[in-house]
Structure 1
Amino acid sequence: MTVDNRPQTCSVGSNTCAAGYWCHFGANQDTTVCCPGRVQGQAICQQHLAIGSGNAALPRWYYDAASMRCEEMTCKEFIYNGRKGNQNNFLTLEDCERSCDVYVNVCPEGSPLIDQATNRPVPCTFGSDSCGEGYWCHLGLVPDEYQCCPGEPTVPGACQGLPEEPGELGAPAPPATRYYYDQEEMTCKEFIYNGRKGNQNNFLTLEDCERTCDVFVNPCNQPIPLPPTMCSAAGPSTCGPSSYCHIGATPETTNCKKNVCTKNNLEGDPCSLPLSRGNGNAFLDRWYYNQQSASCQPFTYAGLQGNQNNFLTREACEERCGPNPCFEGRPFLGVDGRPQTCSVSASLNTCPANYWCHIGADMSTTVCCPGGSFHRNLKFYSNDCLLELQHPLIFVTY
């Protein structure tokens, strides 16, 4: 009260009320007066909605504290009757939001982690540990909706079979492209996220998804069923009769999941397949069978999506792609890279020094084999048997 025993008036722009009083904004100057029982700070926002009494119909805003237990903490509009209200009574939405901590709860379950200093959700970013134990970072469409939600962290939660979840609309931004991990197919896929709720299986980029979850890169040149069947060079028989073991790299330089069983019934004879260096970043020493030279030759394999004409050693290649007609060593290779054929002649050795002419079933196996001088020990083959003659062969003429 003033000195003349009249109510102390006040104004919107400044608080001219004495300590313990607050400025009540009425319908006119007569009801815009200082009222007792002032509260301060966030205590104002915790006051209940009071529509008051009287005949006025004033559009006002109040902070809905009850919404903390629901989906969002927000300011709402109401009609004020002009008298007997409380301080949770704002002329504009902006006034309400400046005075009270307004935020949207975007979490699918529970409430976001709150910063006690600001009474607002703790902001977070993907890949950081800003949320701490028991929370995961919800990646909203706007910065204010990057919130720490209760639940298992994104790693490993996102990679353990959570479904694609488009979430709910309501964010102040259009839906956006995101990526989720498909556990059944062991790959990352694109989807459209609406902005709120959702779950941990939600990545901003394909790269984030692939770095976080165990993405399977098919090393084969054909689709294979998932999950892949593991195998190794030591035990390729685990693949069964209709598959073969693709060896991606050595154990020291590759993930064992690169060694998987792959269908081979569409490729045919490995020895008739062309050279395939494959794809990838590996540099693996391998051998393949060259049909033109009828020999196994080395090549560098890139690690992925080659074919069956791919052997760890020359011996493995030779064992698979035809017998070696020589008793010891390998046939002499001519300038064209092919085994050098020779003439069936008892008087002329057409092979180079320290090689002799193996007489096979046809020209492809009639080749120069290592084994010393023709004049030292003559060697002849009869089927699979080797006969060595330690004495000179005598030719008799009639």
Structure 2
Amino acid sequence: MLFMFQISVFVNPCRQPIALPAQPCSTSRPCSAGTYCHYGLTPETTICCSLEGNPCDQPLVTGIGSGSQQRWYYNAQRGTCEMFLYKGLKGNANNFLSQQSCEHSCRPNPCAEGKHLTLHQIRFQILIILIIHGLSSHILELESFKKAISSGRPYSTPDGRYLSCDVSLEVSSCPSGYWCNPGATRHTAVCCPGAVADPCTLPVITGEGDEELERYYYDAATKTCRAFTYRGMKGNQNNFLTMTACEQQCQPLENPCIGQPATTAAGQVIFCSATNKEMCPVNFWCHVGATPETTVCCPGGSFFFLNSVIHFLM
């Protein structure tokens, strides 16, 4: 009697040797640290493989085999997730089931998705658009602005690339309704949606990311420009490369004092008036300037004067 036996031969789909038995994986069953889920064309070839560095830095590998399945990989040179056909075996970790999963892993959104916009700011920006562009083009501009707010994504060129920009330019290189995020690289220095007419009214946002970038913001409470550390992503327009750029945009309070004017515990400048000089704290006096903004409490008073006399006589 002749017996027929069917022998199942395991085919390793990974680029590197693996320990047996193979570890199956799926979107709901992730692999352990140091490995990634190789999504093959069959359940038998969907197993955990050794991870060889950052998946987003790895080159395109179409693999070997007779299969052909649509996948996505991150093109680091272009900064985009692009489609390719995977043959089923011997690929690498830069191999995603969808464009969305590729972008989530390798193409983070550096924009804050317009969360800082208030209804008042939106209405004000629309008014500015109507004034600048006139009634003839307002429909196109308003649609562009509405799209910018709703998308929450950087402006993309027709081929899918994020539009890089240069925040150091005096004239914005971004389309209407967008502003230039001052990121560290061309992949994060992109045009973000939700531009406002007056960035000086926005709060300081240190953002998210691994960068430590020296930037400047306008402090509306003290009416001065101050330094802060920006993380590279998810910030807002109150974010300038230099102190000079901040001061040119926001025109901080002119300090009429010799020294720093008095401030509250919250850091707000204390203003006074010719009829209410007594509101200045001890060792400060009311400097009555040409405008209310320069009528502030300056350091001095009797204690300051006495110290100055003693210093002069010594």
Q: Relative contact order, CA 8 A, sep 6+: which one is greater?
A: 2
From the two aligned structures, give the one with the greater strand fraction: 1
Q: TM-score, normalised by structure 2?
A: 0.49
Structure with the higher helix share, 1 or 2: 2
Asked which structure has the greater CA Rg, the reply is: 1
Calculate the TM-score normalised by the size of structure 1: 0.40
